[in-house]
Structure 1
């Protein structure tokens, strides 16, 4: 009697054969994440709904206004959509290699579980606002939606959006009513800061971040089924509509909170909470719109045989997205934390964003340089090895 061996583990797609648009979107998204996170390491100032200082100078208020209008609450859903898109790509490769759906589901759940573990370590050591744990949790719980119908995806996305608004209202209420205490970024004792980061992460990951991720994650699955970013030239009309309409919705929805958090509008608490919820929920449209616009840009370049050096560098950063995301936190802790560089009490929002841009550029150059030899990011390599360790 012969025993049929299971299909071999599907090898990772060589970097040179990866689709350009998803990687380019991830690379540019990391810039948005960097500038959205850097100011969260500052301390010693009263802060608004999005964590920007309320006593900053004119330049600080201008930078904060631009970021609230165009960046904050837009990078997270963009990454969520790309995460859902990437899970479908991974599942398709596994199925093409001859694996059954139960085997593929096991791989996806293992990857999501390890991503949750990465998020735990990231929060413990570096950043209370970690988002890896939320993606891992959502992937672990909702992996079955990869096989569900489009109708089920849209229904679930709609229901999760309503839940998202309810959670936003709760967090907005806590922002204006809770007693203000020291944030982990303000704590000089690294052990005390680590404890506070874990308390915040364990509460916010399942309640705030994960709920925020779900709508865009599900719509990313829908987009991947149609290969919108892998074949953008065939979907120009749809990408254009999503890009234009989504950006318009996101900008209009961000205006009230931008005015409030930059002190141009002295609104009541009720209006502030409403503006906070509106800003975040319209950010879902903004994140998806940004990904669509990048797909359009790639479609417009398809007549060129080879992307330019800058495009290749940005795509390399996207290929190293997990490594580059973690490197951002390492740099920010080294510069801003009271027990290291201590700049968190000395810089304002504008300077913090400047540091973020330089940090992102550093990761782009690093990824572009090291990926020329086909090398993958160390965090990506570790995640892959852990995922497939028992999947044979």
Structure 2
């Protein structure tokens, strides 16, 4: 394993500054409403790693609004295939979910308007849910930041991590027949390692999104860093001890008071239970600038809530399959030939998810958040709200779901080739 000094030398030799993502302008300013326009199109020069983008770039522009606002997004499709927008982690009406299950995708040359209220603050992201692995791997994704008017407002950094398509076959590995993915992490559209030079001692909020279709980030703790947020906004209590593992689709908010130079690297992570091979991959080399500001860590509104009690499972999902077969299952079924489980609006149920396959799966549910009540029978130390949670080999997850959003909601593995090869089902919530 490389030393921190060696990683720093690698960063100095190869790094470029961490890019700042542009934010989409409000096209029609109106109190309580944010209007943005997105255009999905092929990029003119795909050799840098992305073949598609929104508004001429990948990642697409960040959409920023406040809790309680209405978001209006006009999507124009300039691709040669249909596309959609899915709002990962947001509780949107079913017709706005961007899944071509009962709503047609946006055809080439057509425009569709997504409109929905923003009910929960946090870090979210948008991406297609049509030909999903190819379009997301190709660069169609961006961040959605929903601010809470009651939260403190330190400087805010949005970092979108991804493993982009690689166009040099000698420098890439084949990935499930969906082109070739780089082995090197990119952040905000630039290859890592990257440099970041924040003012010394000034607390920053880092909003990190794993937009990769297959890759896992495993981030060790660093001095001055603690995790304050997850999939659904602020955590119940901060976490100062890593490692923090983010599977595909996962998000995490960190509070960082940078004082000393450091390198944040992603450690090797094994999905199949075997040994972890390779060296840490340096992501961001941090060099604080200027006099150290005497600023304390921020007092966030953590509620320290205890988890809800576990209970008998009302619904069981069993994950199985293998890379060898290229087929993945939930309850022995492959999408779209699946059994649709139905809940009544307002039902409160415990869902058990068992991973009987030989690899990890980040389990994602559309349209709702769920509360993790136990993993292998052990409750979390505090309440834990998620929309995407990783299951290791042989693990059993129990979550408590309040069915508050009517519609036919996808539940699937967010390793996107696994979903496209069958590991996806539908949970129907009845009601108006």
Band of TM-score, shorter chain: under 0.3
Decide which structure has greater strand share. Answer: 2
User: Which has the bigger relative contact order, CA under 8 A and spacing at least 6?
Assistant: 1
Decide which structure has greater helix share. Answer: 1
